[in-house]
Every structure is written in C-alpha cells, then in structure tokens.
Amino acid sequence: MNFGSRSEKVSRRIAQMEADLKALQKESDTLTGRVDDPAVQRPLRQTRTRKPFPESLPAMKNGCCRQHHAARNVEAH
C-alpha cells in the first residue's frame, strides 16, 4: 500500500490512463461508425459467478466440525 506523494502519483497515473482509455474508445467508435450510439459503458472484465458444488460432494450434516474437535481435545486433557 502506498502513502503520501507516491499514492498521489499512482492516483494521477490511474486518472491519466482512464482518460487515455476513453479517448481510445471514442476514436474506436468513430472508426467503426458507432458514433451515434448512446453512451454505453463497456465492461472492463467479465463478471465471475460461483459455480454450485457438485452433487457428488458430501454435505456437512452438523455445520462446522470445530466444536466436535474442540470438545474432544478438552476431554483428552
């Protein structure tokens, strides 16, 4: 994590890169003929969703097994 002037430099660099990206997108839209399209934000990355657990995976019946192990360790001492 950056602090102080280094953090400010990073923030300025990010802002400049975002401005450059917008300019490139505008130029790309002009070249491809998409100038009249309404401003639609382009996703920078795909959203990721979690896949469900496979049916073959056994489900935990008692929730968390920590209590069972903790009780066993206490009884042993």
Q: What is the pLDDT of residues 8-62, one digit of tens each?
A: 889 899 999 999 999 998 888 888 877 655 566 666 666 677 888 888 888 776 6
Q: Per-domain residue ranges for the chain?
A: 1-33
Cα–Cα distance for residue pair 59/15, rounded to 1 Å: 47
DSSP letter at 70? H
Q: What pLDDT was estimated at residue 49? A: 79
Q: What pLDDT was estimated at residue 18? A: 96
Q: What pLDDT was estimated at residue 42? A: 64
Q: How far is CA 39 from the centre of its chain?
A: 24
Binned at pLDDT 50, 70 and 90, residue 66 comes out as low
Give me the half-sphere count of Cα atoms (radius 13 Å) on the Cβ side of residue 32: 8
